[in-house]
Chains A and B, each alone.
Chain A
Amino acid sequence: MRRFEFLIEWGLAGCALLSIGTTVSIIAVLAIETFAFLREVPVADFLFGTEWTPLFANPSFGVLPLVAGTVLVSAIAMLVALPMGLLSAVYLSEYASPRLRRIVKPVLEILAGVPTVVYGYFALLFITPFLQSFVPGMRTFNALGPGIVMGIMILPLVSSLSEDAMQSVPQGLREGSYALGATRMQTSLRVVVPGAFSGITAAFILAVSRAVGETMIVAIAAGQQPNLTANPLEPIETMTAYIVQISLGDTPQGTLEYRTIFAVGTLLFIGTFGLNLASAWLRERYREEYA
């Protein structure tokens, strides 16, 4: 009997250790291939080169165009998701009746649960043609359409995490503000939002991390042209879309071209990991503020 209990306990501990194993494997897989890649391409050429043409006869491995594409689309997404998500959160937290909140929140959750390939379809075949009808010079593949759609996808994340942060602002602060004669708008904008600031920042950073790692929307609707531009109407390529492009093609495994996806993946992993850590640290902080 005791032996059985002992086996169970160790079995469960083994399950738990598997999650550590996952992280270690991610780092190992990325590191091994990236080092192999960097043996042939100098780090400085990779990080600071402005031309990304790994499949050309005379290849060039400057990752900046991919980084620029990723930043451009993510910035557009955040321009949509941050104000909209924040205003939705203020409305749900400070104005909406509990009944309305119970109806609206699950619907917003649906937005977050739609598969990203569906959003890609929506960006390419609905939003982009719609924008083209009044934005001159907009190409079929561009950064603007997928950026906006990505913003809509991320909005529920911003909204629900910001609302959580606002809910954790003590009721007494609101009552104090009302007692001084402030309106709900003044209370929301000058007491609740500043009070929830670190939580809202945490939500924002997590949303950026989501946008940077998002793949299918950009793989479908943003194009496959590494393009060092800030023009949102031009086709671009993001880091994630590049990984998809190579995975779909018939580049033989073990070649330098093939290793590029791991090098790009490493950059993506480091970037999102840093953002996630920053976000977790900020969330920890606002929990302490009102503990």
Chain B
Amino acid sequence: MSEPAGSATSSHTAWRRRADVAFQALALLILLLALAALGALIWDVLADGTGRLSWDFLTSFSSRRAERAGIWHALTGSIFVIALTAAIAVPIGIGTAIHLEEYGSRNLVSRIIEINITNLASVPSIIYGLLGLGLFVRTLGMGRSVLAGASTLALLVLPVVILSTREALRAVPGSLREGSYALGATKWQTIWHQVLPVALPGILTGFILALSRAIGETAPLITIGAVTFVSFAPDSIWSPFTVLPIQVFDWVRRPQPEFHDNAAAGIVVLLGLLLSMNAAAIWLRDRFQTRGLR
């Protein structure tokens, strides 16, 4: 900068330096504030919820009396729905990713499918609920069943599964495929015996993250008509069901504070589930990265 030398410049420099420090402090403060919000949220839920947490709470059914209510029906419902969601979404998601990565010629159809998947990833989840209601519950006649819920959630998480599987496939070195072809393997033999095993940890990571999104979803399942008050665990893919987030929602909406504590306890269980799923994903990611380095 072509400023005149002298005390004016040095005081200006000092000012600029102070502004820089102040700006850095502000930015750091904001960042810490965001982290503090997370801390407050977890503290709040733990403070309200741990008192209600017990073996009875986990294994009891819903009740009109707050102190006797439990989450067994919702917990089993969540696990059932998520398992079925995985069974539907995973093969289709991996199949789509393989098609796009390994077979996809760069033609117009592939391009449209790609743009479409990116778009689907940012459609609000409640729209998937309306889709599930119109398509699965009514047109296909599944009713308000576990199957309808899982199908809806499967469509919802499909873009996540596809995108992460593609990443994992892309990370597999091309030389591996060429080596396999050179030995006379067909395309599918190469994919099945060489590419997929190497990409597996990456695929699993994305798949766990997708399911951890599905397990927290509430709105689409309310929209397809999952019931808020059930007193039984689902026993087939046709039974009506509820899930943990819906049970929490039902308790939060009630005016009595005792039910709010139940909701907090339900949230603690839900967060616990999520935390263990994410820990598994991180463990897999680390394994994957060390392998990539070798």
Contact = CB atoms under 8 A, between A and B. Distances in A.
Interface of A: 1, 4-5, 8-9, 11-20, 22-23, 25-26, 29-30, 32-33, 83-84, 87-88, 90-92, 95, 104, 106-108, 110-111, 113-122, 124-126, 152, 155-156, 159, 180-181, 183-186, 188-189, 206, 209-210, 212-216, 219-220, 240, 243-244, 247-248, 253, 261-262, 265, 268-269, 272-273, 276-277, 280
B233 interface: no
Interface in B5-30: 16-17, 19-20, 23-24, 26-28, 30
A85 B159 CA distance: 25
A211 to B, nearest CB: 10
Nearest to A29: B134
Contact of B119 (A23, A126, A265): A23
Instruction: Determine which residue in B93, B215, B249 has the highest number of CB atoms from chain A within 10 A of its CB, and name it.
Output: B249
Instruction: Determine which residue in A107, A115, A209, A220 has the highest number of CB atoms from chain B within 10 A of its CB, and name it.
Output: A115
Contacts of B120: 19, 22-23
Interface residues of B, number: 87
A248 B222 contact: yes
Contacts of B103: 9, 12-13
Interchain residue pairs A-B with the least CB separation, the first 9: A213-B124, A115-B216, A15-B95, A29-B134, A91-B27, A12-B99, A215-B219, A183-B20, A185-B23
Contact of B135 (A15, A29, A107, A269): A29
Nearest to A183: B20
B82 to A, nearest CB: 13
13 contacts: A8-B188, A15-B95, A16-B95, A16-B100, A30-B127, A33-B134, A90-B27, A91-B30, A113-B212, A114-B274, A121-B260, A210-B122, A240-B126
B26 to A, nearest CB: 7
B133 to A, nearest CB: 8
Nearest to B124: A213
Interface in B44-58: 44-45, 48
B99 A268 contact: no
